[in-house]
Amino acid sequence: MTGSFDGELREQLARARQAEAEARDAGDEDGASAYAGRAAELLRIAGQHGIELPPEAPADRA
């Protein structure tokens, strides 16, 4: 169960960060802010459960 919870948090964090980047690229600062808030919330939830997630999105995705 823990592994699937960990995996789900990681997947949701990746999606939130991707959506934030896409919103920012499209000039949608409100959307980017909302997705950044979602990512922060997922990091908070992970911390409460002792799951370490990367605190920031990678600067370069090649």
Model pLDDT, residue 57: 53
Assigned token pair, 30: 């409100």
Q: What is the pTM of this model?
A: 0.80
The pLDDT assigned to 49 comes to 92
Specify the pLDDT at position 18.
96
Question: How many CB atoms neighbour CB 27 within 10 A?
Answer: 8
Q: What is the pLDDT of residues 2-50, one digit of tens each?
A: 679 999 999 999 999 999 999 999 999 999 999 999 999 999 999 999 9
User: Which pLDDT does position 8 carry in this prediction?
Assistant: 93
Which pLDDT belongs to residue 55? 74
Structure tokens at 13: 């964090």
Strand (E) positions, the chain?
Answer: none
